[in-house]
Each structure stands twice: as structure tokens, then as C-alpha cells.
Amino acid sequence: MKQTILIAIFLTIIGCKEVTNSAQENLKIQTELQKKLNKTDLPIEVIQADVSYLPNPIMANNTVQLRYELNISNNYRIPFTLKKVEIYDLQKDDVPIAEFNSEYIDQNFDRPGNNDLDDLKQLSGNEFGVLNLNLIFKKEQSIPEKIFHKLYFERKKGNGETATHPMEVAVVKIPETNKFTLGLPFKKKGKWLYEAKSHQGARFLTEGRVNYPQRFAIDWTLIDDNGNFAKNDTKNNENWKTYGIELIAVADGKVVGINDGIIENEPLSEKMAVQITRETIGGNYVILDIGNDIYAFYGHLIPNSLKVKIGDAVKKGQVIGLLGNSGNSDAPHLHFHLETKSNTYFGGEGIPYHIDKFAQLKKYSEQEVTELFNGNSVSLESLNPINRTNELPIGYGLIEVK
């Protein structure tokens, strides 16, 4: 009996010690945050800001890049306008490691449900926005362990004057740089136009939570030896160089999702062949579980071209279907991305990867890419091949697969 009581007392003491240690650790974290982040000059904090998911940095253009979304909400009745954002190393908060001005915010601040506002940067009471950020580090530059964000807001005072309020928020720990490398999702050699930035801000709601499955998605379109997308009539899918190309598994895996039977669109038409919903946006698709809780998504395939079914085991390089123009697609192309494992289609977080090798030929703006498609031609002059290994193409551009 005495031994039982002694054991109980011992366990209680150990439990209290564990609770105390845990409390001390939490206090240490809170103390660190209070020490590093300056308080706002307002009587109370009114801006809520957080990063819901921080992916691994990627290698791109011979740099290290960290791409993520900063959620910002105004929890007060007075409108505040976001004018500038600075990023700081938590341990070296004297000089910002990155600055994003008003022009950048104009182009990268999403206002879900409110994109028709006169000034997207202004947050009225209980309004929110999502700022798409991309931190770029030189390869030789040391990457901070933790960073925080300094937001500069303006508001109109009662006397009509403008006041600026800096607010330090959102401490995050940077993960290690991505080490996951794959081959391309097709074998076809040649020159491929890619579109990556067009997926920025592709926001989904899944079971009540926000997620960005297409964060690192790329659209791929092949051109012929003359730089043309299609021969003769561009309104015919079969005339496109890309159409019907075999798509392959980027790794060993298992088929966990398919969609088939969706009719295809007329290329470059403003009207889709089917109503675009969450289930039809990817057209005919294949989803592979490639291990480590990673799904690989292939979208816009030709109807009835799928070579696999749910439950099939596939090997790296195995043909799984043919590239087409179904779903939310303006022209024949492949949509490919990786996302975290989830219970539903497009329900995970988009995660980065690197492509083992490719030659970067040229970069374009979004407007230039639109003009290329409308003109059915990509100029093959003034190309500047740069061999890349273990990197991810970003923005818009042309690469060559040899």
C-alpha cells in the first residue's frame, strides 16, 4: 500500500515537472516574440496576419525562392490601406531582407469575393486579403531560421490627415530547401512553353479550410520546329502539336483518382464545353499517390485515353494517358502539380519539387504569352539556352527538353 502511494506521488511529481517544463518552453517562446516584435503605436492591435502553410523553398534561376501566402484581416471598424511590407530576419531585425512596395501589393494582393474594389489594398472593418509573397535569396546567401513581417498601413484621421502605422506580425520558421527532384511528366523532346505564375492565388475551400493545391502547378504546351502551336486551323484540337502526347508517371505509385468522359473544348474559345465546377475544372484527370503523402495530378486529358484505373500500381515512366483539352482549358496542354495527400480532389496543399534537367530558352510576361497563343507562333530567334539541373521553372517561359 505504501509502495503504491509512493509510486503515485512520484508520478505526480514527474507529471508536474513535465507540465512546468512545457509551461517554461511556452513562456520562452512568448518572451522571444515580445522581445523581437515591437508593439503597434495604436491603443490596441487591429490587424490579424498569419501564414497558414509555408512550403519548402525552391531552387529557380540559380536562386533560392520561398513562395507563400500571407493572410491579412482588419478586425477594426476603421479602414486601413496596406502600403508596404518588409520582411526581417527574426535574429537580425535592423535591416529588412526584402521589401514589397505599393505597386507589388497592387499586383499580388488577392481579395476573395471583392476583386472589383477601387483600391484592393484598402481593408475596411472585418475585411481580409491574401498577399502572395516570393522571397528571393542568392545561392550563397544564408537563409534565416525565422522571419517576421512588418506591415505599413495608412488611415485617414478625423482631421483629414493621413497617419502611417507600422505593425510587426507573423513570425514563421523557414523549412529546409526542397530536395525532391522528378523527371518531366512526358517523354516528348522539343521546345515546351510553360505557364507557372498563372496559378498564383488559386484558392480552394475544402471541408471549411483554405488550401492552395496549385501553388507550384505548371501548364505545358509543345511547339513545332517552326515555333507554331498548331498547323492550319487552330480551332481543331488534332492540329495542335501538343495534342495526344503520351503522359507518364513521374515516379512509382498507385492510382488513387481518375475522371473520364468529359468532352473537350474548342481551342481558344471563350466558352467551355462543360460547366466548370470543382469536379470538372481538371477535365479528364489522373491522380497518383507517389508516396510520402504526395499526390501527383495530371489534368485536361483526352476523354477515354486513360491507360489506368483506380487501384493500379504504376512504374516510373509508364504511360497513364494522353494530353488533351478538357475541363478549364483554353487549348491542348497538360496541367501538372504535386499536392499533399487529402480526402478529396484538389484538397491538399501545393508542394514544390525540382525537375532534374532542362534548358531555359526564354522568359515571357503574361501578356506576351497571351499574344503568342493568339498569333499561333513563338519566335525562335534570340533564344539564350541556359542548362538547369534540379530547379523548377517559374513565371512564364520556354524550355527545351533534349
**Among the listed residues 209, 320, 324, the one whose alpha carbon sits nearest the alpha carbon of residue 266:** 324
Q: How far apart are CA 263 and CA 385, in angstroms?
A: 38
Domain spanning 181-401: which CATH class is it, in words?
mainly beta
- Please list the pLDDT of the chain residue by residue as tens digits (402 residues): 444 444 443 334 444 444 455 555 555 555 554 446 999 999 999 999 999 999 999 999 999 999 999 999 999 999 999 999 999 999 987 899 999 999 999 999 999 988 778 899 999 999 999 999 999 999 889 999 999 999 999 999 989 899 999 999 999 999 999 999 999 999 999 999 999 999 999 999 999 999 999 999 999 999 999 999 999 999 999 999 999 999 999 999 999 999 999 999 999 998 999 999 999 999 999 999 999 999 999 999 999 999 999 999 999 999 999 999 999 999 999 999 999 999 998 999 999 999 999 999 999 999 999 999 999 999 999 999 999 999 999 999 999 999
- Joined together, the cell numbers standing for residue 352 give 514544390
Q: Has this prediction a pTM greater than 0.85?
A: yes
For Cα atoms 29, 30, 31, give the angle at the middle one, nearest 5 degrees.
90
DSSP symbol at 217 = -
**CATH classification code of 47-173:** 2.60.40
In whole angstroms, how far apart are CA 23 and each of 12, 13, 16, 27, 369?
16, 15, 10, 6, 55
Question: Same fold for the domain at 47-173 and the one at 181-401?
Answer: no
Contact 320, 296 (CB under 8 A): no
Partner residues linked to 391 by β-bridges? 355
b (16+ CB within 10 A) / e for 223-241:
bbeebbbbeeebeebebbb
Domain ranges of the chain: 47-173, 181-401
Closest CA to 224 of 365, 367, 380, 362: 380
Distance CA 400, CA 359 (A): 5
